[in-house]
Each structure stands twice: as C-alpha cells, then as structure tokens.
Structure 1
Amino acid sequence: MASAVSTATPLDKQLARFKEIHVGGAQYLDRLTAGDREAIPLLVQVGKLVDQIYIRQHWSGNEALHSHVYGLEPRDTKLELGLQLFKGPWGLDEEQFIKSIKEEDKDGNVHEKIHIPHEPPQHGNYYPDDIKKQEYLDWVASLEGQAKANAESYYYVVKRDATGQLYSVPYSEEYKDFLVPASDLLQQAARLVSDQSLAKFLKTRADAFISNDYVDSDVDWLRISKESALDVTCGPYENYTDKMFSIRAAYEFYLHARDFDSSAILAKFSSRLQDMEDQLPVDDLYKAKGLHPPAIITVNQLYSGGDVAVPMTAAYNLPNDEAPIKIAGSKLVIIKNVQEGKFEKVLRPIAEQVLDADQVKKVEFEAFFQHVLMHEVAHSLGPHFLVRHKETKVRTALEEYHSAMEEAKADIAGLYAVGLLLKDGTLSGGPDAESFYMTYLASAFRSIRFGITEAHGLGQAMQFEYLKEQGGFAYDADTHKFRVVMDKIEAAVSSLTTRILVLQGDGDKAKVKEFVDRYGIISPEVKHALDTLENLGVPVDVYPNYRILEDGTI
C-alpha cells in the first residue's frame, strides 16, 4: 500500500527560521573522570527514552506519526528534522507542517491513516481526547482524599473507562515501557560517575521512575554538589504541554558539563534573593518570607531530549513542584553555550534591524546573559499562593493564563531586580543600565517571534505593549525603528512589576484575562518589524547538532 504525507505549510519556511549550532563536544569534557566519560553514553540512552515519553505525552497520535515518518522509504530527512525540532506536526505559531497522513489500499482508495488536529490539543495526551474542562472539574470536585490528590497530581494522567467514567493512572504505569529501561540505565550510570551526590540523584531518580514519588529525588537533584563535573536533569517538570490546566508535567532530559568559572561568578547573586523580594514594588502582602536562595550553576549542554522542542531552552529554574521547593529551594541552570549561540545567530541580527542605530551598539552578550539569570531567579519572587486564600496556588487560580503571566513576571521582575543590583554596585564593572534595557528591547522581538500562542511569546508581547504604553519604548514611524526612552523606562518597569505581581497574588482570573486581552497583542508596528525580520531571513532561534554523538568523545 502506498502512503502519502501532505504539508499544510511549506516545511522549508519553518526550518528556515532556525540556525544550527554545534552543541557539546570534547572541549567541555576536560574535568571528567574516566567513569564520568563511561557514563555519558548510558545517560544519552536515557535521554532518548525520555524523548519517546514526551512524544507520547504531546498528543495521542504522535507516536503513530513518528513511526510513520521515520519508516518512509526513501527517507524524508527534512520531515524527520521537523519532527525532531518541534516534537510533533506543528511549528511556530502552531502552524501544521504535516496536514494529514493518508494511505492507499489495494483497490486504489485513499483513506486517512492518521488524523492530525489543526492545532495541538489543549489537553496534550494527559486526558481523554473528548474531555471537556467542566467535566474534569466536576469529577475532581466529586473526589476525596488520595483519589482527589491523584486527580490533581503533576504525575498522573486521566483516562476514561469502558463506562465513560474518568480515573487516574500514575506515570509509572502509563510510561512503564520507557521508564523501566531508563531506570536501569540510571542505576548503571550511578555506579560510574565520580561525584557521589550526582550518583545519589541518579539512583533515587531511577527509583522514582518506578515508584512515581518524585519528591526525594527532586531534593537530591537540588543537592548535587557544585563540584560535580557533570550535571543531569531528568524527569517530569514543565507544565506547558497541559494548556488546559497547566498541571501535568512533561518529561525532559539534559546532560551538561559544569562551567566552573562562570558558575563562581554567578553564584553571588543567589544570596540576594530575599533582599530582592523585600524591595519589590508591592505591598508586603505580596512578598514571601524565608525564601531559599536558588542554587545557581552555569553549564554547557552536551545532550537533551523530551520536552525540549525549539525554541531551545537557555536556562531553567526547577523543580516546579512546591513540595521539594519547601524542603530545599530550587536550582537555576544557565546553559551558556546555548545562550551564546542564540545571541550571535539571532539576537544580534534582530537588534541591527529593529533598534535605532545609536542603540544597537549597546546590545551586549553579558547584558543578555545576566538578564536570563535574573529571569530564572525571579521565578522564585512574588506570590505563589493567593494573598487572601493562602491555600490556593496562583497556578490553580489562573489556570490557562498562569504560564504566560509567570513568564512575564519572571522577565519584568528580573529586569527590575537588575536595576536594584546596578544601583547598589553588585553589577558594577559590567553592562550599564542602557545596555540592559536596550538588549532587553531587542530580545523582546526574539521572544515574540515564537508566537503569542506560546507562553514566553505571549508573556513578552504583554510586557512590550505595556511598556510602550507607559512611554518606556518609542517607535519612529519614518524609520520603523524602536528605541528605549531612558528617562521613562525605569518607572515603566516598576509599574509593570507591580501590576503583574498584584494580578498573580489576587488570583482574579477575570482581571487577568482583561490584562492579557489588552496587552497580549501584536500591534501593527511590531508586525511590520516581525515581517521585516522574516523577509530578511533572520532566524527565530537555533537548533542543536549534538557533537557528542559524532566526534568520538564517548
């Protein structure tokens, strides 16, 4: 039987938005022992298994689609690259680059073999495809005790039985075919790595894959020694794929080599967390006390898998589960080699096109790098529970708006914190305020280009429009260039920081919706700039070529 793939939008257009960068390689392995090096191929295998888990989590037809595409003869390497980058059949702006999979039977009749929704399902593959939001909410409300906890857990999927009733299934069962071999590989790697704190994490994470209890291993991950030359992130973490409730966690995997020199420089910021919290421009009701400073490390990526679709992650602050955070805080991982690739291949060309010529020269890598650091630190700032209903999480109250609001909070509160550190001299000797604000303005276009259906892009669009309304950014209709208005930007950033933190802490979803609807837009002047970048072929982001798989280092 013949098989056909039809494209809804030119795949070439999607792929042209990304530039390849080389990731990993022998230059990052100098500090590794022989055992560390021997563990690397085992860990890469874990990453590949985690990738298979996320393919299943993304949407219900994803495994069949991947199997079909990777089974085509002759191979379609361009289509394979599309699936590798996006993890499914939708590119940026949720545009389909695979419209349908059709099959011709022996009688010459063409049938749809795999139905592909026009856009990614809001529920991912964590819930039945026919579920309605209210049905889920009513079901959860009917439960008590452990059954209710499971239904609202990060680590359970929701199924429907033969009678139509909903029930919960632990990840350990749902993904058993991948988690069991991944657990075995983690145990093997634990016996090889030189750092005992890393070995402990690999062992307890291996156990968690079987038990479905992730708290202890998350704590062990947070306590991996800063002297460990390897760093591994492996497990269910981010909630973006569950767009309906932002609850279910997607599996991801990162293998990194520690960058000791940069880590030493950046670690000094962690001690300032509570001080930054205390200086936020909000009433004390919205400020947390007794914050755990996040562990901060800088790494160079060697390999990744799972929930790592483009745009490439340049930093992350984990875990998201409040239980281990209460015990041991969180850990900020800054991926330096990925950030350098983004800056050179994407941000600098964007700045040259969208900023006034006199401001382009102030766009610096160190300003970009340090704001990413502050973005991740700022995820810990502000309210995580409602100020008047202290047992209700902000995430729960805001539902589908939470991710975009949280990314906006991290961006703008991080920029506000940069201003504090510049004034007290902590950031002396590096980029000045102009560099931070002008680099931030250029970086806004980088994020918005991801599309406002994506949390980071929507969050950045809201910031951009608010700051422009407040006079912090200005647009020249003759040159079609943007600039930072230095005598207004600081007040605009403070105002937006206050607005977002209060919206989160109050948890009034209707007011949040009003804010998102008003500011989460693409204005005509921004659209003109985005179209110009697209027409000139300026890439949106980068994608990895994992050298560690090719250059013989493992």
Structure 2
Amino acid sequence: MLFFDLATYSPILTGGRQLLKTLALATAIFSPHRHHATLTTMHTPTVRQRLASYKTTELRADLSRLTSGDHHALVKLADAADLLTSAFYQQAWAGAPALRQRLRERAHLNGTAADELRLFELLRGPWDRSRDNEPFVHGVPAKPKGANVYPEDMDAEEFTRWTSGLSPEDAARARGFYHVVERQEGALALVPYAQAYAEYLEPASRLMREAAGLASDRSFAEFLEARAQALLSNEYLASEVSWLKISHASPLEAAIGPYETYEDELFSAKAFFEALVHVRDFESTKELERFTQSLQMVEDHLPIPKQYKNPELVPPPIVVVNQVYAGGDTAAPLVAAFNLPNDEEAIRLAGSKLTLIKNVQHAKFDSVLLPIAQTVLSQEDLKHVSFAAFFNHVLYHEVCHSAGPHNVVGSNDTVRSHLREVHSAFEEAKADITGLFAAKLLIDRGLVGDITLREFYTTYLASAFRSIRFGLAEAHGMGQAMQLSYLLEHGGFVYDEQEKTFGVDVGRMTVAVENLTKEIMIIQGDGDREGALRFRDKYGVLAECVKEAVDRLEDVPVDIEPVWKDIEELRAREK
C-alpha cells in the first residue's frame, strides 16, 4: 500500500490534540465493542484483493436512436459528471482532494500505486465500504460522520443550540440539503453549495448549458438549462420540477445535482453531488408503466392504521434506461434504480419519478446474485431464482419509497428529521419489505402472471446476501441486515444446519413480511428514533450462520466495476 504522512492534510490534522483525536477515531474501527462489526474475516486484505471483489464489466447502451447532437451532449455531460466527482470528494472529507491528487501523482510509478488509485475512485474515498469503512490507505482517519459538510469537531448538541438561535429561514437551511455548515472565527456559519463548490459547479454549469444546446429533445434541454442555473443560484426546486417534466419521447435521461444524503451520518440531511447519464430503453419502459397504477391499491392495503396512510398517492412515472456514465456520489455498489427527487417540497409540488437502470441490473444479477445463490441456497430453492423476480422487486422497492408515512403523524415534521442517522437504513428496509408485500398483492389480483411468490421470496433471499456484503455501515447493507435477522427469527427464512444452506418457508414468510412492514412504518410514522435505535441494535446484527455463509462468498464479486465504453469511444471521436 502507498504510505503518506498525516502532515499532508494540515487543514484538518493539525496539533497534538487533533492528532490524538484522529488516532482514537481510527482505533475505534477495530474496537470489539462496536455494535456492527465488519462482515468479513479478520485478516486485512491487500488493495489488489479488495479490487478482485469487483468484476470489471463493460456497460453499453443502444445509441442508434440518438442524433449527432445527442452524442456530443453525452460527452459534455460526462465531462460535467467528472467535475461533480471532484465536488463530491470535497464534500466527503477535507483530506480527500489532496489524497486523490497524491495518488494520481504516484499511480504511474508502480502497479500497487495504480491499484490504490483505482480502488479509491471506485469506492469514492479511502474507506472500504464492504468492510465497515475500514481505511485501505495508511494514515487515513476513521470516516467522519459529518463528512465535510459540518465542522469535524461539531456534535449534535452544539448544532441544536446553534439552530435554535437562527431565524426560521436560516434554521431550515441549516437542516436542509444545500448549505454547508462551517466554523468561522469559532462560530458556526452557513455557506451555500454554490459558493462552497464554485470552482467545480461553475464549469459544470457551462458544460450543461452547452449540452442543452446540442440535445435533440427540448424538454431534456430545458431540464439541463434549469439545473445549470440551479448550480449557480443554489435554488434547486424549479429544476427538480423541470426534471420531472422530461418528455417520455426524450432519448436521453440524466440525474445531475445534489441528491442523496447517505454520506451525512450525523443527520442524514445534506445532499451530495452526483451525475447519472442514461439512454432511454423505450421498449422496457412501456412494459413496466402499468405497475405504478397499482400503488394506491398497495397503500390502501398496508397493514398500518389509517392515519399512517396516504389517501391520495400520485403514482410515479417509470423510466427504464441504460447507463453510459456516472460521477460524483456513485461509489460501488452501483445504484441499480432510484426514485427522485428526495426534496419533500418538490415531491409535494410535482411528485417523483422512478428510474430503473437495466444494464446495471443485468450485470449485478449475472456476476453477483447468481453465484451467491449457488453458494448459499438449497438446491430446491435455487430453482426459484430469476432475473424477472429480481428486476421487478427492484421496481417495487423504488415505487414503495412513496408508500407509508413521510411525515410524523399529526405533524408537519419529516420522518427524516426525527430518525436522523438511522433514517436511511429504515427507509431502505421499508422499501424492500413493502416491495415484497406489494408483490403478493399484485400476484393475488392477477396483475403479475409470470413470477411466483416463491420466486420473489427466494430471489430476495439471495439478494439479501448481496446487500449485506456492502457492509453494515452502508444504509442498504444495514437495512438488509435488519430484515434478514428479523425474517430468520420469525421463520420466513430457514437455515439447514446440516447442509449449511438457506431456504424459504412461503407461509411464514408471508406473515413475517406483513408484520415487518407494519413495525417499520409505525416507527417511521411515530418519528420514534429511540424505537428505531432499539430495533437496529436488536436486528442490525448477523447470526453466526449468516456470517459463515458470507465468509464462503469470498470468491464471489461484491459488485461490478463499470467500464463506460460508449463514452470512451465518443470522446475518442471528438479528439
């Protein structure tokens, strides 16, 4: 591994007191008293061994429907995505930009240094997310809970005292998506993203305007223009609405800007920059649109009291795409689908849109999920693993982010603001388990004719092992761990001690899915952070049989490492 001295990062690691704090944080990673230990065996893998956990995979899209202008627009958007990657590194850790530059300077020296840079870029930082954020670069501190969007020495109590003295408008900004909290002359202060990351956002904005002038579809161009302006004004609401209005005839799709809050482990409040660039799959989109029309039926049948339900859900439109490039907050594991926007005000005004990334899903199923199923499932259950069940459950998962309470019952407060650091894991768990609940409803009503309930349950069981391998420090991994432990305890999933394989009890699984859906949604609707913490501490740990099974997956890839061949070729043509 590459060695470097801590003095390189003088902006954040200065003085003996700070150094001691950093060492204490690093030591905490290996403490036996942590609630959620790494999933893997205790030996420390090399960088090359870590890279071997990700299967290098070309991701392609059909560009035949694109105009020459669309081709040029894709290159502009890929260049903008690279700038948002730099912005993300600055958001994620104060030391990340300097470390990234140092790794780049040394990458040409030897294979080890090149591998370290490759892993850094794949994981978007020097921490291995699949091993409880274990640093893989010597001298790096523990991953900061507040990333670099809050002062490193600020705690929740100081933040609460500070916000209580702000105007309502500034308090909302402090708790909102788009402002950094900095320490200026000893006092906390707000800095808009447009100012904090101007060196990246200004050129990215120019590139997006240029792409807008090249794109063949006017509605897509209007989104790019609105988003380009938002990067400079720090006002994102209008561009969120514009994104929702992109025509279903547009051959291009993209989600560009600050979206997800997973990196903010203090409050799950600050959005991090990303860019996902796609080409629309028209045929697959048409096949799946009918499913969203059943969302209100699912909501009406949720196993929760009436006051927790939404009586007027607007079904999100579905877009199926193939990915051609990604930047910013796009660490492995690659996102296979998303339901945006996350801004509750934008959702209230214009709803949301579900995007399924088909080429990424196919790659994950073929390279990761099938080998996992062959290792951990019984021979009988293995017969019931299918891509159709995997793809459709991902669809239901994303649609079901809209289900259940988003505000605390009897209040205008968001669930996010109450559950704070555990919100993301519970939201992912809710979407997963409600997606299985929805699958049964749809099958019972004859709306899904080609996938059995056992296929959904069994494919989901294999997928659970896929997700927990991302590490319990990651929201999807923790959300999945809580579900897996609960379903094993309640007999939905069963373990054969002799064969060391897992299977499904369909009858008990159906009851457990309904009960778990209820438990999670009640915690969310009550804004019950203490209840959420108790639930996480009870179920966010793995049984020995699960740990042993994970260890047997050592040679199975954790995820894919994408190669954006289409963009490589388009960039080469423009040189």
TM-score computed with the length of structure 1 as normaliser: 0.94
Measured after TM superposition, the shift of residue 150 of structure 1 is 1.9
| Residue among 133, 143, 157 paired with 1:120 | 143
- Aligned residue for 2:36? none
- Alignment map for 1:342-381 (pairs within 5 Å): 342-381=364-403
Letter paired with 2:309: K
- Alignment map for 1:520-539 (pairs within 5 Å): 520-534=540-554, 537-539=555-557
Deviations 1:200-259 (A, max 9, x none): 000000110110000000000011011100101100000001000000000010110100
Measured after TM superposition, the shift of residue 9 of structure 1 is 4.7
Q: Which runs of 5+ in 2 are unaligned?
A: 6-42
- Does structure 1 conserve the Cα–Cα contact (< 8 Å) formed by 2:469 and 2:550? yes
Q: Distance in 2 between matches of 1:269 and 1:197?
A: 25
Letter paired with 1:41: V
- Does structure 1 conserve the Cα–Cα contact (< 8 Å) formed by 2:3 and 2:137? no
- Aligned residue for 2:10? none
- Does structure 2 conserve the Cα–Cα contact (< 8 Å) formed by 1:353 and 1:533? yes
Residue 243 of structure 1 aligns to a residue in which SS? coil
- Does structure 2 conserve the Cα–Cα contact (< 8 Å) formed by 1:474 and 1:485? yes
| Residue among 317, 321, 325 paired with 2:339 | 317
Residue 569 of structure 2 aligns to a residue in which SS? coil
Residue 482 of structure 1 aligns to a residue in which SS? strand
- Aligned residue for 1:12? 48
- Does structure 2 conserve the Cα–Cα contact (< 8 Å) formed by 1:292 and 1:328? no
- Aligned residue for 1:401? 422
Does residue 44 (structure 1) correspond to residue 81 (structure 2)? The answer is no
Does residue 23 (structure 1) correspond to residue 46 (structure 2)? The answer is no
Aligned residues: 529
- Does structure 1 conserve the Cα–Cα contact (< 8 Å) formed by 2:3 and 2:138? no
Does residue 87 (structure 1) correspond to residue 109 (structure 2)? The answer is no
- Aligned residue for 1:223? 245
Does residue 304 (structure 1) correspond to residue 326 (structure 2)? The answer is yes
| Residue among 140, 150, 153 paired with 1:130 | 153
- Aligned residue for 2:287? 265
Does residue 237 (structure 1) correspond to residue 273 (structure 2)? The answer is no
Residue 550 of structure 1 aligns to a residue in which SS? helix
Residue 359 of structure 1 aligns to a residue in which SS? helix
| Residue among 332, 356, 375 paired with 2:354 | 332
Deviations 1:90-135 (A, max 9, x none): 01221111022xxxxxxxxxxxxxxx21x21000010111111211
Q: Distance in 1 between matches of 2:389 and 2:44?
A: 39
Instruction: Using the aligned pairs only, state the percent identity.
Output: 45
Q: Distance in 2 between matches of 1:313 and 1:177?
A: 27
Deviations 1:346-378 (A, max 9, x none): 000000010110110110001000000000001
Residue 527 of structure 1 aligns to a residue in which SS? helix
- Aligned residue for 1:492? 512
Letter paired with 1:387: V
Q: Which runs of 5+ in 1 are unaligned?
A: 101-115
Q: Distance in 1 between matches of 2:190 and 2:45?
A: 37
- Alignment map for 1:157-172 (pairs within 5 Å): 157-162=180-185, 164-172=186-194
Task: Provide the aligned C-alpha RMSD in A.
Answer: 1.4
Q: Distance in 1 between matches of 2:295 and 2:250?
A: 24
- Aligned residue for 2:531? 511
Does residue 74 (structure 1) correspond to residue 97 (structure 2)? The answer is no
Deviations 1:526-553 (A, max 9, x none): 000001111xx01111110110233347
- Aligned residue for 1:107? none
- Does structure 1 conserve the Cα–Cα contact (< 8 Å) formed by 2:183 and 2:189? yes
- Does structure 2 conserve the Cα–Cα contact (< 8 Å) formed by 1:9 and 1:96? no
- Aligned residue for 1:156? 179
Does residue 541 (structure 1) correspond to residue 559 (structure 2)? The answer is yes
- Does structure 2 conserve the Cα–Cα contact (< 8 Å) formed by 1:33 and 1:194? yes
Deviates more, 1:479-488 or 1:542-551: 542-551
- Does structure 1 conserve the Cα–Cα contact (< 8 Å) formed by 2:323 and 2:357? yes
- Aligned residue for 2:271? 249
Measured after TM superposition, the shift of residue 12 of structure 1 is 1.9
- Aligned residue for 1:108? none
Q: Distance in 2 between matches of 1:5 and 1:412?
A: 44
Letter paired with 1:98: V
Q: Distance in 2 between matches of 1:507 and 1:549?
A: 44
Q: Distance in 1 between matches of 2:44 and 2:501?
A: 33
- Aligned residue for 2:234? 212
- Alignment map for 1:417-436 (pairs within 5 Å): 417-428=438-449, 430-436=450-456
Q: Distance in 1 between matches of 2:4 and 2:103?
A: 9
- Aligned residue for 1:279? 301
Q: Distance in 2 between matches of 1:475 and 1:5?
A: 46
Deviations 1:302-348 (A, max 9, x none): 00000000001000111100111111111111000000000000000
Q: Distance in 2 between matches of 1:17 and 1:486?
A: 32
Deviations 1:33-87 (A, max 9, x none): 1211121111111110011111111111000100110011515220111111111
- Aligned residue for 1:110? none
Deviations 1:469-520 (A, max 9, x none): 1111110111110000112111110011011111110112111111111111
Measured after TM superposition, the shift of residue 8 of structure 1 is 7.1
Q: Distance in 2 between matches of 1:504 and 1:344?
A: 35
Letter paired with 1:18: Y
Residue 84 of structure 1 aligns to a residue in which SS? helix
| Residue among 458, 478, 481 paired with 2:498 | 478
Letter paired with 1:546: W
Measured after TM superposition, the shift of residue 289 of structure 1 is 2.2
Letter paired with 2:62: Y
Does residue 54 (structure 1) correspond to residue 93 (structure 2)? The answer is no
Residue 20 of structure 1 aligns to a residue in which SS? strand
- Aligned residue for 1:112? none
TM-score computed with the length of structure 2 as normaliser: 0.90
